[in-house]
Chains A and B, each alone.
Chain A
Amino acid sequence: MSSEGAPGDRPAEPARHVDRAGLVIAAGLAALAAVLVWDASKLPATNMYGMGPEAMPVVIAVGLVLLAIGNLFDALRGKLPPRESMDAKPVWLILIGLALLIGIIGFGGGFILATSALFVTTSAAFGRRAVFADTAIALVMTTLIYLAFDKLLTLSLPAGPLERLL
């Protein structure tokens, strides 16, 4: 994503040069393989017949290294499928919404506030500019969902200041 972050209507580039995003993917796969091996090496040795718990991570790590090499070749030859231009702003808006959701749940803000924050940011990401109207819609909708889960399905959703008023 990092190398393709520029917004705008750039047409898909003819992919014949070294693809930097592909290099990042290959490096990521190799890093994942390293984590698997490092974690497996910390498992105490077991003396049981056959395979211990440390064997399969190593097998998968070997596969990941081979695939990292395969992806590296594809990247060096510029053989990744063509990509369309992307607009990064709405992606960040939704990610901010998800971060708000996690933060509000983590600090005990409750279900209604958390999901309303996600609703409003996502709606804005898709081009809505009526933030106040959307906030009102979100609060009503998530309150109804909370009541339905709490009273009908008796599933408990995390409660915050708003939920305690209900």
Chain B
Amino acid sequence: MAIIERPSDAVEVVDETTPSVATPESSYGVFRRPVETTGWKSWLFTIDHKKLGIMYGVVAMFFFVVGGIEALLLRLQLAGPNGTVLSADKYNQMFTMHATTMVFLFVMPMAAAFANYFVPLQIGARDVAFPRINAFGFWAFLFGGLFLNTSWFLGGGADGGWFMYAPNSSVAFSPSNGVDFWGLGLQITGIASLTGAINLIVTVINMRAPGMSLMKLPIFTWMVLVVQFLLLFAIPVITVALFMLMFQRSFDATFFSVEAGADPLLWQHLFWIFGHPEVYILVLPSFGIVSEILPVFSKKPLFGYPLVVFSGAAIGFVGWGVWAHHMFASGLGPISVAAFSVATMAIAIPTGVKIVNWTLTMWGGKLRFTVPMLYSVGVIVQFTIGGLSGVTHSVAPSDTQQTDTYYIVAHFHYVIFGGAVLGLFAGMYYWWPKMFGKMLNERLGRVNFWLTIIGMNLTFGPMHIVGLQGQPRRMYVWTENRAGDGFFNIGFWNLIASIGSFVLALGILLFFVNIYVSHRKGTEKAPLDPWDARSLEWITTNPPKEHNFDRLPEVGHLDEFFHRKYEDRGSDGHHEFHQIATAEEVVAEEENNADGHIHLPSPSYWPILLAFSLPIMAYGVIYNVFLVIGGAVLGLVSFYGWGLEPHTAPEDDYDPPTGTAMEVAAHG
């Protein structure tokens, strides 16, 4: 597969006077390439990493709303004793799908949205290494997510919990098709993650701008790189597990059948060898975002950049050796438990490094509390709480009191919501002007932020109490008999948590209101460099042109953009920074030296078609094997179509047939 060439080599001279004749290399010959740059086709068949990034974001936010509604229903049910909002069956489906949706269909794709959009921009590239595979990844994710959620209308969602422990996941205990939809849907989104991972790894390794050594890589891109390696190794494990589950349920395999001599703990090991790295897959992109934002609004470089990079990598490595801390009560035996307990404590060290380095980045800075900065400080505070409660259950004996109680629910929501989700919101406010050319409203943003923070603490804070008071998770009702009547009684704090969830929902709603308000007619265009930013993605227009950079930037510093704007005029160890150029001047300089010919590959029908063959096959596994064959034929045709089409559309696919220098040039 070809890598997009840097323009310095192999520039093909396109003669503007070339007559528009069909090029014989159009080997598939049947369809015209969808080269439109506006309209629905420009989105459906795009292979532009920015458009795909935006679509990842839109779809992720849609699933965020779906998962949020599921969460509100759960909290409504638990607001009082013996709740009747949901039946036991619906409740079990709801918490399973809430977790599945939030993990696989919101946080992961939202991080993928930012990674897609900003990794090429941050490394000074014009797209990712494999643009069509990138498009395929997005469509596979979307179709996988939709497929998963169609289970609601086809007999009910999965009801075994997102961890789907065997043997409760087998047909005898979960007879509806929910678990089949779950297992197949996640295989499809897994394919999306895996292709995305390979794509981004190759992109970061091969396509950095001249001068950008790995230790000058923006920290967000670094964290994304670590995450892609985690995905590369974690997704195959869960895929194997899901494959076994599929065979167990659909084809009478006995991987998890106790009566056939299987050990149900096999599933737990497979699930958590994936599941624990997954936690870092969720949270590291946000760590990267926060590590970008804090320096910008502190007007200082990230404190201890190499250490933050290495601690991120260390978390990535050690994250593979702690999975059994999800199984301290599973009966592993004391030696395993002790070993995993100590390994889990060890991972607190690199995590602590990040918190300290973020705080020291602010130390001695010049802090501006814009909305992205508020969210970033929010991440430090909320994630610290989640991290510290995490230390309390790295202590295995203590964990046997806490695991599967609401204390754990509190812990991981402080980590996932406080760490990952707040970080994603920080990213949205920070990069919104870059992506859409408009600023999100700061005043509404502040209300959005504070309601979210108050809401999340009201929701998840009380769960610490409820959990330590002994309320297990995943119970569709709780009873006053076990609630107690002291200050810490379970009833009161459950009610507070339920009220908090609606405050939180209101906070999130304001984000959508903010988008609407900020994009009404007549709102001003965002300035070129609204935050006085530091990294490469800002050395271009808002939003960036299709080809990202007129000239691929030469990189001499970690915070390249900052150093183009400011100069140190101090001497003898004394520093004095003065602005030497505005952002407009820096960008104008690039535009004036634009590369003569820019190579961009053309849109394609095949990625979306190939992705569409996946859910067809999945429905086939559940309902009718002939559908599998039909889907496979579509997939095979798409494979060949993809393989045979040239990277760039022949010129007569354009209307009018064109050969302008900016758009066209074959590359191989």
The answer on A and B forming one complex is: no
